[in-house]
Chain A
Amino acid sequence: MTGDTGRTLSRQTAIVGIGATEFSKESGRSELQLSVEAARAALADCGLTPADVDGLTTFTMDTSSEIALARELGIPELRFFSRINYGGGAACATVQQAAMAVATGVADVVVCYRGFNERSGSRFGQFSVAAATQVNTNGLDNAWTYPMGLGTPAATVAMQARRYLHEYGATSEDFGRVAVADRRHAATNPNAFFYGKPITLEDHQASRMIAEPLHLLDCCQESDGAVALVVTSADRARDLPHPPAYVVAAAQGSGRDQFVMTSYYRDDIGIPEMGVVGRELWRQSGLGPDDMAMGVLYDHFTPYVLMQLEELGFCGPGEAKDFIADGAIEIGGRLPLNTHGGQLGEAYIHGMNGIAEGVRQVRGTSVNQVPDVQHLVVTAGTGVPTSGLVLGR
């Protein structure tokens, strides 16, 4: 489980550019165009051009291939291209892929991208017949749930959430505090879909039931938009306009008896795959939870934020409800989370917008800036094989 001490990915690369489209419910343009716009913005942000790019990474789920994006951007040649599976679990792994390629000299400048019309086009929140009819082992895995009627993301999460409440005596209000924090942060972020629209715990409790025990406000939005990130070497990063957000650690994780959203057959039906990610992040970085000034924890569904705090070691099993009490995860609290508003408040761009927020926090340019950020943790999709990053100055 441990690597050679002399070989490390830590601090060899940095995220130097971030770019995004507006976040909406109906972009009015193709998914490829969204990614083109985000990639151009990210390159402009760091003063590089498509001619500097020689690598592209994205999600297996993305509908725009690397070569299609390269054509539209006018990238002359690609030396590295890669995709990561398992939905939102890919987010931080796209940066890990880029970092590994750059650190090993396989590529010099890699753009990580994700763009979709996830509200006006194919909606992820719906019952996905396509997921159940894939001709591969994921389709076979889904045969044990979808035909029975369990086939929306919210419902699959609700199965874990119900058990979590039962095991630890947490309540729906504990989930609600995550939504309240996210929406508070989104309320002051002009780029957030829910800019100027904070919610109260009472709003959360009054929102309709989607998949008990999950209320509507436990579930993230569906969004149209794209985000792109530019990764290059630490050396080159120092010559670029913004302070580099160094990739201090980058990890993937899959747990024992792992499934996609339905890891129901192991003793603990929580998210131990995030524990795998956490242990590797702390190993690579030589840091620990106490060193994190803040976090961007993937929040497509609120219960997973509690579970992540536990898996990453911010608190013990079942202690997250106490950890997040009294505004601890809001700006000014002891561990601010999702200062952009998260996916519940800003937009659901499969976690890529959260990485961009991590970069802004390291640069000191977030609209909800946390003072003196040396290091922070960012995570990717939960309930699935996933990934994480520690970013730092």
Chain B
Amino acid sequence: MSHPTSATAEPLVDPAVHEQVMAEAERIKALGEASERLARDPVNQPTISNWLEAMGNDNPRFRQGEAPPSMVQVWTMYGLGGKAPADDPLHAMMNVLTDTGFTAVLGTNCEQSYERYLRVGEQLRVTTALDSVVGPKKTAMGVGYFVTSRSTWYVDHEDGSAEQVASMLFRVLKFVPTRAVQPPVDPPEASVADAADGPDASRFVLRPMKNRDTEFFWEGTAAGELRVQRCNACGVLRHPPGPACPSCGALDRGHVAASGRGTVFSYVVHRHPPVPGRELPILLVLVDLDEGVRMVGELVDTEPTEVEIGMPVQVDFRRVDDDLTLPVWRRTGPAEGSRA
């Protein structure tokens, strides 16, 4: 399936542009660990508790003065309206690539290493360095450069020593889109600020098309409610929604909040090809809601081998940003009559 390329094939990127990109990369790499910032607050129990609740983690260890290592990024997030410092190497490199035509961004991977558990009361400091710029590469998304930054978290001690407690390699692809119609791409500022949501948080977000017939559903998910259209004339429930009742024809409609309980009617383990902004595999379920309608959503916190038809599930909500909250599903038990 590969296309042979001869030695005389056209370069992927204009040599002059490539030279400029790599020169800028060297300059920014030479800045070393920059963009130094202190965490807004010391490690503290209320923030840990909120994080545990959001993650569905009830490990008692983290109620006794220790913080989960994987929330290290939380401590140094910019906060609402926060901006990356002017000397931030990652943003500087992103800007160079944007200005040279590599306008699109896709988070590819993120590796965190933890030296130890953090303790309540410790004050963190973070630095960011540009680790590498590799390219040009031809990818399915387009031609671009892989940009890797390294964030390092420290705790400064009274004796003047700085103890490294965690680090993170964060890699994005900055590319020239190949497709005529481009996905909406989150700006890198938002990507980095959101990175604590997971390794692929710098992803672009595929936003659902909405109109006045369907926006109530998305307003519902944002409010933590799974809304199902209900005909005000005959009471029939319907999903997906639409302007005219398929049962009685009435145009007068409202909605009800579903219980969020259902069972798996069918499912898919999506392994290939890539889904922009998502890690694979993705488990997708077609859920028979207790209310009698069906819905598609991602099944989270479940292994592909665990999912089966008939398995009971419960809705949850994954907030992506102010404009989008997706309904997702969690298993609540084994399928009726199953071996599990």
Contact = CB atoms under 8 A, between A and B. Distances in A.
Contact of A148 (B271, B284, B293): B284
Give the most central of A122, A125, A127, A163: most B CB within 10 Å. A127
Interface stretch (B16-24, B117-125, B205-213): B205-213
Contacts of B282: 149-150
Interface string B325-338: 01110000000000
Nearest to A138: B209
Interface in A114-151: 120, 122, 125-127, 129-130, 132-135, 139-151
A209 B180 CA distance: 29
Interface in A140-197: 140-152, 154-155, 158-160, 162-163, 166
A163 B296 CA distance: 14
B209 A148 contact: no
Contacts of B265: 163, 269
Contact of A212 (B181, B182, B207, B304): B304
Contact of A133 (B209, B270, B328): B209
Contacts of B278: 149
Given A146-B206, A148-B296, A158 B268 contact: yes
A127 B267 contact: no
A162 B209 contact: no
Given A135-B209, A209-B269, A265-B294, A147 B326 contact: yes
25 contacts: A25-B3, A122-B179, A127-B274, A127-B276, A129-B206, A132-B206, A132-B208, A133-B209, A139-B209, A140-B214, A143-B208, A143-B209, A143-B214, A144-B239, A147-B324, A149-B275, A149-B298, A154-B272, A155-B284, A209-B271, A210-B271, A257-B246, A262-B296, A264-B286, A269-B265
Contact of B296 (A122, A208, A264): A264
Question: In the complex, which of the residues A142, A144, A166 has the most CB atoms of chain B within 10 Å of its own CB atom?
Answer: A144
Interface string B272-302: 1111101000101010000001111110000
B7 interface: no
Given A155-B284, A265-B239, A126 B304 contact: no
B266 interface: yes
A125 B268 contact: no
A211 interface: yes
A376 B206 CA distance: 43
B140 interface: yes
A129 B284 contact: no
B240 interface: yes
A322 interface: no
Interface residues of B, number: 48
B270 A129 contact: no
Given A148-B284, A155-B270, A211-B272, 8 more contacts: A122-B180, A142-B209, A143-B214, A147-B208, A150-B270, A163-B309, A211-B269, A211-B270
Contact of B209 (A140, A208, A262, A264): A140
A40 B180 CA distance: 29
A235 interface: no
Nearest to B265: A163
A130 B181 contact: yes
B1 interface: yes
Contacts of A264: 266, 286, 294, 296
B235 interface: no
Interface of B: 1, 3, 140, 179-184, 206-211, 213-214, 239-240, 246, 265-276, 278, 282, 284, 286, 293-298, 304, 309, 324, 326-328
A203 interface: no
A212 B304 CA distance: 9
The SS class assigned to the B binding surface is loop
Give chain A's interface residue range (CB within 8 Å of chain B). Answer: 35 or more
A291 interface: no
A160 B271 CA distance: 17
Nearest to A256: B246
Nearest to A162: B266
A265 B269 contact: no
Given A139-B209, A140-B214, A148 B326 contact: yes
Contacts of B271: 208-212
Nearest to B308: A166
A52 interface: no
A77 interface: no
A355 to B, nearest CB: 27
A26 interface: yes
Contacts of A155: 268, 270, 284
A131 to B, nearest CB: 9
Nearest to B309: A166
B276 A129 contact: yes
A158 B281 CA distance: 14
B266 A265 contact: no
Interface in A287-309: none
Contacts of A262: 296
A230 B246 CA distance: 41
Contacts of B213: 140
Contact of A146 (B1, B208, B211, B274): B208
Q: Which 8 A-B pairs rank lowest in CB-CB distance, beginning with the nearest?
A: A143-B208, A212-B269, A163-B266, A139-B209, A130-B181, A158-B268, A129-B183, A149-B282
Contacts of B182: 129
Query: Which one of B3, B278, B286, B328 has the highest number of Cβ atoms from chain A below 10 Å of its Cβ?
Result: B286
